[in-house]
Structure 1
């Protein structure tokens, strides 16, 4: 291979890796994909991917010369539309339908392409997500409306943070602080709201339950560094959200007294299924899944909820996620085989309905204050068991029906 060709290939691999990382590809799958691509294109590559850094090592076959490259990256929100488009580009490169210079140009085009949904629809999705979560928790209608307004407010702060680096660093605790303060003020003015439930529903899009699950999955795949970093980052995010909310309530208590509303017991009803539909639909938009994949992602949410409900009847509640993850994992792998699309497109919308992310926040509140936000909640051991059950379900799903592609 000529030096110019080798340099062009390395630049493409580096650009491909950083692009997939920014769209939310897990470390263990991203490393496998990069190794597969480099091997197919005629060189050897070794990769170390973490949420904040990527290390690339290239060597030609039957050569002792090596090329190292380190790239500083940042954890980002999931963008499954761009992730799918990038995988399609990889297929075209491996099939030699386009050359590497064209591929690099298309990677840039994918990066700058418009989002599949306008911002007003994204705002609506954040509101529906918070309202649906409040409904799942057994909230009353006034609390559901307040939660929806809080979710919309949280997204407006996300838009502002795109223009301010300082606001981006303080986004989670500041959002929780402001929502807690405003909800407390609304109750002081006469609104009958369960403040902890409305605050939790308002920041539910920030709760890193999915990040925690991915981190545990990476640990299970023996990607220790990346998995540990993700888990620590998820834990820190929960702490920032919780203590931001506590500070907001403490500030509000200086001026007024927040009335205590009795805890609600969440029960399964027709409204629960409506809430699951709202959660699934809003997650499709938040994850930026394209319209052509949206029906499959929406179906994944329903499959995850129904199979987890069945699992709760067979096993104890903390193990229900194993059945849910197993079924939705097999469904996602079948989708990958039949459609030749990334499993993440339908896997993430289903798994996120199973992860007990909100239970992390509730468990922290129980530990600090000794009080429970919800009447039916889990202790710390049950929360950990629920996370590990989901990871086990995904591993068994890959054993029963491996995905067509390693991503």
Structure 2
């Protein structure tokens, strides 16, 4: 299908914006490529080509001498946005949404702030830390200390990352905070089992989504993205472990 430059540009804008939002929201590489291809196919373009990595998207259309690349600098976990983009993609395929309307909705999704306020994220991380202590066969006496330590660790990650845009450094500092706080609570008699408190408190920092996406990309044949995400997950885990190891070595 031969497209005019204006039509090709519009299709490409929608595809790239959809891919960008999904990748920044924590979607798998193959899911991003599939969504972009489906949107292009719904617009009557049978041949579209995309190359997606954790940090960049390259996209081109058959019948249009147009190729674009966008960089992805920040990635987080926001599966709500991924679901919203999937919904828009389905509406485009069902012909219930025009490209212009889809683009406007995608821009609105892109500008949205985080789905949950900071206090709710902090509360969830704290309660999750306490629950993980129980899951790992800890005592109820360590539930509240783990909630406190896990909340402080999660808050430290957000605070440090706000000033230093190096994710591994933020998680390393957070693990130091977790180790010091947990040790202090045990020393004053508030907590009992240091190991259980630390294990439960670091769980909100563990890159579970990155590990899952790396495995799913590898199984889907996206070796480059799978290895890249696996390396990112490994470095994050190493940063967390190194911080805790330093504290346990000192004390």
Q: What TM-score do you get using the length of structure 1 for normalisation?
A: 0.57
Does structure 2 conserve the Cα–Cα contact (< 8 Å) formed by 1:178 and 1:248?
no
Confirm or deny: 8 A CA contact 2:156 2:177 kept in the other structure.
no
Q: Does 1:45 align with 2:24?
A: no
- 1:150 is aligned to 2:153: no
- Written as runs of structure 1 = structure 2, the 5 A alignment for 1:356-371 is none
> Conserved in 1, the CA contact under 8 Å of 2:145 and 2:190?
no
Contact kept? 1:131, 1:148, Cα under 8 Å: yes
CA separation in 2, counterparts of 1:209 and 1:118?
Answer: 22
**Contact 1:57/1:68 (8 A) holds in 2:** yes
Q: Is the 8 A contact 2:33 2:50 kept in 1?
A: yes
- Asked if 1:13 is matched to 2:15, the reply is yes
Q: Quick check: 2:27–2:213 contact (8 Å CA) kept in 1?
A: no
| 2:28–2:216 CA contact under 8 A, matched in 1 | no
Q: Which runs of 5+ in 2 are unaligned?
A: none
- Cα deviation per residue 1:319-340 (whole Å; 9 max; x = unaligned)? xxxxxxxxxxxxxxxxxxxxxx
Equivalent-residue separation in structure 2 for 1:105 and 1:20 (angstroms)? 16
Q: 1-side partners of 2:245 and 2:181: how far apart?
A: 13
**Is 1:131 equivalent to 2:134 in the alignment?**
no
Which secondary structure state, in structure 2, belongs to the residue aligned with residue 170 of structure 1? Answer: helix
Take 1:212 and 1:11, find their aligned partners in 2: how far apart are those partners? 30
TM-score (norm 2): 0.89
Partner of 1:27: 29
Deviation at 1:75, TM superposition (A): 6.0
Pair 210,117 (structure 1): closer, same or farther in 2 beyond 3 Å = closer
CA distance in 2, matches of 1:166, 1:77: 13
Q: CA deviation at 1:111?
A: 2.2
Deviations 1:108-158 (A, max 9, x none): 211233544333222211111111111001111232211111221123224
The Cα of 1:192 is off from its aligned counterpart by: 4.3
In terms of mean alpha carbon deviation, does 239-248 or 91-100 score higher? 91-100
Q: Secondary structure at the match of 1:163?
A: helix
C-alpha contact (below 8 Å) 1:51/1:74 kept by paired residues: no
How big is each residue's C-alpha offset from its partner over 1:359-393, in whole Å with a ceiling of 9 and x where there is no partner?
xxxxxxxxxxxxxxxxxxxxxxxxxxxxxxxxxxx
Q: Give the C-alpha shift of residue 246 in structure 1.
A: 1.4
Per the alignment, residue 56 of structure 1 pairs with: 59
Q: Could you tell me which residue of structure 1 aligns to residue 187 of structure 2?
A: 188
Measure the CA separation in 1 of the matches of 2:127 and 2:222. Answer: 35
Matches within 5 A, 1:318-397: none
Q: 5+ unaligned residues in a row in structure 1: which ranges?
A: 254-407
Cα displacement string for residues 200-239 of structure 1 (whole angstroms, at most 9, x for unaligned residues): 2111012123322321221111111111111111111111
Offset of residue 186 of structure 1: 2.2
Alignment partners' CA distance in 2, 1:116 and 1:147: 25
Q: Which residue of 2 aligns with 1:395?
A: none
Superposed CA RMSD = 2.1
**Structure 2: how far apart are the matches of 1:211 and 1:79?**
13
Distance 1:53 1:243 in 2: 30
2:97 alignment counterpart: 98
